[in-house]
Amino acid sequence: MYFLALLLLLWSTAFPLSTANPHNKTLLQLLHEADAEADPPTFSTPLPPSLDPWYRPPFTYDWRRTEPGQVLKVRRAPLLNYTVPNALRAYQLLYRSTDSNYDPAWDVTTVIIPQRHARCPDPSSNSTTSTTSSSSTPPHPHPNRKPLTPWCAHALLSYQLPYDTCNVDASPSYGLYLGDPYGEIADALSLGWFVAVPDYEGPRASYAAGVQAGHATLDGVRAVLQVAGHFGLRLEVAKVALWGYSGGALATEWAAELSVQYAPKMRIAGFALGGLTPNVTSVTEYLNGTGGAGLIPQGLMGISSQHWDARRWIVSRLKPALREVFLSVKKMTAAQAILAFQYQDIYSYFVGGYDDLHTRVMQNMYDVDGYMGYHGVPRMPVFIYNAISDELSDIKDVDALVDRFCGVGANILYHRNTVGTHTQELVNGRPRAFAWLRSVLDGSYDELYSTLGCTIYNVTYNIAPWVR
C-alpha cells in the first residue's frame, strides 16, 4: 500500500487549462467553444483546482436546479494528449452532483478519447453538413467527417483512481498532467475504450466519504454520456463499466450500492473492485501505528468535510500542541501524509485518545459515510479481488460484505488471493480485472462467467515482482 501511495507523490502535484461558461449555454455551444479554444492546442500555465476559477459552478444561473449529471462546463485538456499514452483527445467536464447530505454539489471528470478512435467519424455531422447553419447553436467544429462506422468505440470505462487525500489540489483532473500513475488508463485506451476519470471526492476533497464518492462517480458517467456521442461513442450499443482499486474501489463500490436508488435507469454492465475497505473504523484500527498511519488524519479530515458537527468535534479535541501538525494534512498528498505520520499513534493527537473518535457525533458520521453494504444491492455483475493478507483492511470485512450481497441475490465473482499485500494485489489483480472488464464490455460475460449467484475462489496469482 505504501508503494501505491508513493507512486502518487509526484503524480498528485500537477497542473489544468481554462474555458469558462459565462452563460447557461447549450451543450453543443460548450463543446464548440472548448474545441475552438484548444484546437490548435494552447498550453496556458496550469493552475491547481483551489486557485483555478474554472473549478467553480456557473454563477449566471441557478445550477442547483439542474439534474444530477448535467454538464455545466466543458474544456479541452490538450496536455493530456502527451502525458497519457494512447490518448487522442481529452476533455474536462464540470457537472452537477449530490453530496453526502443529498444537497446539490458539483464535481469534475476527465474524459479521454482513445487514439485508435482517430479514424472514427463524428455522429453529430456528416459529409453533407453545412458549415453555414443559420441556427443559433454553432455547428460542431468538425462538420466534414464521414458517417459513423461500426468499427468505432463501443465502451466507456469509468476508472476511479485512488488519490486518498483531503487536499483538493491532488485531484485526478489535475494530477493527470504528470501522467497515468499505473498505466491502466493507457491500457484501457489501447483497447479502444473511452475512459472517464472522476474527481469523486468533490470540491471539498471528501476522502473516505462513501455517499459523496458514489454520487460523484455515477454523475460523472451521466455527464460523459451526455457528450460522448458527439465524440463518436456509439451510444446505441455502448456498454459502461466501472473499475477502482483501494480508494478508487471505495468510490466504485459505493456507486454500485447507490446506483439502485440514485441512478435506477443507468445501464451499467459491471463493477470491478479491488483492495476493498468496507469498514472505515476497522481500517483506522488496522493502520494506526503502521507505515500507513498518515491515511488516518487524511481520512478523518476528508470524511468530516461532509459532516461539520464531526469536523468541529475533531478539531476541538486535538491537543493544542499537536493541532497544527495534524491539520497540515489538508495541504498534503496521500504519499506526503504517509511519510509525515508513518508509525505514529494517531490516537495520541487527541485529548481523549481512542474514545474521542468513537463518540456519538463521530458514529453518526461513520453510519452515513463509512460502512459499505447498507445502501443497496448491486443489480449488475461485480468482480471483487482482494489479497487475504491485505494490511490495509481486514479480509473478514470483505468476506462479510460479499456474504451480505450474496444473501440477497447479487451476482459476484470473488477472488481471495493467497499471496501478496494490498499494494501487490494492485499488480497481481490487474490482468484478471482487465479480462473481466473486457467480458462485460464486449458482451461475452455470459459465456465466460456464472450469471447467477456468487462464485468465490481462493486463488494464487503471483506476478508482482516484489512478492515473496
Per annotation, catalytic residue among 18, 97, 246, 305 = 246
Q: Which residues contact 420 (CB under 8 A, 6 or more apart)?
A: 387, 389, 428, 461, 462, 464, 467
Q: Which residues contact 87 (CB under 8 A, 6 or more apart)?
A: 80, 81, 112, 113, 114, 115, 186, 189
Select from 226, 106, 233, 262 the least CA-distant residue to 171: 106
Residue with cell 453538413: 129
Confirm whether 422 is a catalytic residue: yes
| Encoded amino acid at 390, one letter | D
The edge-to-edge listing of strands for the beta sheet with 71-76 is 71-76, 87-98, 104-114, 194-198, 155-160, 239-245, 270-274, 382-387, 412-417, 454-459
* CA dist., res. 425 & res. 439, Å (int): 21
Per annotation, catalytic residue among 180, 393, 422, 439 = 422
Confirm whether 246 is a catalytic residue: yes
Per annotation, catalytic residue among 164, 180, 390, 397 = 390
Catalytic residue positions, numbered: 246, 390, 422
